Amino acid sequence: MRKNQLARKTITGGVACALLLGSFAAAGSFNQQAYAAEAVQISAAYSSSPLISQHLNSIVRDTAWLADKEEAVIYAALAKGQTLAEASGLTAAELNDKLTALLNEDIAHLYEDSDAPASEVDALKTQGAEAIASAVSEKGFKPAAPVAAVDLKALVQDQLKLAVSTAAAISDQETSDIESRVQAGQSLAEASGLSQGDLAGKLTAQLNQAIDNAVNNKHVAPSVVQAAKAQGALLIAEVVAHGTSGSSVTGSSSVTAAVYEAVYGRIDRIVADASLIADKDYIDVTDVLQAGGTLVQATGLSESGLYDALVQLMDADIQQAANKASIAADALSQAQTEAHQQIQTIIHTAGYTATANKQSVEELKAKVQDQLKLAASEAATLADKELYEVEDALKQGAGLADAAGLSASELTQKLTASLNQFIDANAANLDAEAVAQIKQDAANAISTLVQSGIQQ
């Protein structure tokens, strides 16, 4: 780790974690809302690079460090309309040079193993220098407001809960009448008296608009948005065409949705997967991402090498879900195609972060259990075997290590490392002791699976 980066991390505490979550709430003790509400925002052009955006968002903190002052003192001076230079006690030229040097250091680190042309690096440095110069001389400078993560899965479920009332409004009927028909076994289309295509189209359009509104001005990867829309559209199509026998439309099961859950699960852990594939520490990979790099740059792998490895993991999970749900071949192909497109987008997304949401210990435990169910596909990938070969051996009573043809110690170490990275990526805001216990329980479960096999 570079000395300047270490010094700044020592001072700021928790900034890296805050960046990963898409929020700067963890950094600094001074309430940023206290200073001038009318302060001018930095031009949107300066935030076109994630790396430059990161430096602009932390420029007050960096200024305090360079000037050897408390961050709150800098914010108080800005609130009175001073510039960053005036607040720091340094000349504008001196502060500008020091801040630009910090940015250039990160740029150099980002591109040190890259084949990017020098012109691209120089252009980024020029853009960053201009942004910093503008910020240093701006009176009452105010960093961009933090952005919040968006739970698109919950949003899709919330929209599905509104399907009956929306259908009632579209068909000019009472919600209670349609609910009664749906509970009696009719599809939502039949209950509302509308064609499947018309109703599904209107509900999907409403869902897509809700998703667009939720992610507006927030750093949510396009691939994640597309996946949410795709899963939502499929769930809506099923509800419209088949209805449900229960008391809630969202209670219906969907074999296609099961596959998309597998896609979501693998996308959720794509950074951890990439770290494992590249044999790099998860924190080192996220450091590069937080500095505005891509997964290809962060792992040091070739584009095709990283893509192919991630696709292999994704396809194994999709196939496993499809086998259990007996999904049609065309739906399976569609899910794979869309998943591959998401991977392609993500590995080239500068500053990619998965949308991490606050969750309880029990929710994380449930996620870990879901990941343990994928141990066979993980082992097959590590052993360069087909999933069915491993599963056939497991059905014959072999342990997972024997089924994969790997040593028990090697397989246990790799599966545990992979799962620990997944836990770390999903353990935001959880008690450290609880997380440690989850890791220990997971390690014990993996040891049992490796030695004894998986209950089918």
pLDDT digits (tens, 9 = 90+) for 10-31: 333 332 232 222 322 223 323 3
Position 84 confidence tier, pLDDT thresholds 50, 70, 90: very high
Neighbours of 152 (CB within 10 A): 23
Indicate if the alpha-carbon torsion angle 196, 198, 199, 205 is positive or negative. Answer: positive
Q: Which pLDDT score is estimated for 158?
A: 78
pLDDT at 46 over 60: no
Cβ pair 234, 256 in contact under 8 A: yes
Q: Which pLDDT score is estimated for 41?
A: 34
> For residues 58 and 141, which has the higher predicted lDDT (pLDDT)?
141
CA geometry: angle 23, 26, 27, nearest 5 deg? 100
Q: Which pLDDT score is estimated for 376?
A: 83
Of 355, 167, 351, whose CA–CA distance to 269 is shortest? 355
- Helix-strand-coil percent breakdown of the chain, rounded to 5? 70, 0, 30
Position 95 confidence tier, pLDDT thresholds 50, 70, 90: very high
Return d(Cα 427, Cα 447) in angstroms, integer. Answer: 22
Neighbours of 244 (CB within 10 A): 19
For residue 244, what are its two tokens? 């449900």
pLDDT at 383 over 80: yes
Q: Which pLDDT score is estimated for 93?
A: 93
Q: Which pLDDT score is estimated for 288?
A: 84
183-238 pLDDT, tens digit per residue, is 888 888 888 998 888 888 888 888 888 888 877 755 555 656 766 787 777 778 77
Q: What is the amino acid identity at position 64?
A: A
Q: Which pLDDT score is estimated for 11?
A: 32
* Look-up of token digits 């068909």: 171
> For residues 440 and 23, which has the higher predicted lDDT (pLDDT)?
440
Q: What percent of the chain has pLDDT over 70?
A: 75
The mean of the pLDDT values for the chain is 74
Beta strand extents in 266-305 (DSSP E only): none
Q: Which pLDDT score is estimated for 231?
A: 73
pLDDT at 447 over 80: yes
Q: Which pLDDT score is estimated for 159?
A: 82
Residue 258 backbone dihedrals phi, psi, to 5 degrees: -60, -40
Q: Which pLDDT score is estimated for 24?
A: 27
pLDDT at 347 over 80: yes
285-340 pLDDT, tens digit per residue, is 888 887 778 898 989 888 888 888 888 888 888 887 777 666 667 767 777 887 88
Q: Which of 64-78, 117-131, 301-315 has the lowest mean pLDDT?
A: 64-78
pLDDT at 32 over 60: no
Distances (CA, A) of 228 to 154, 155, 209, 242, 301: 10, 9, 12, 21, 29
Residue spans per domain, the chain = 3-137, 152-347, 361-452
Q: Which pLDDT score is estimated for 253?
A: 37
pLDDT at 52 over 50: yes
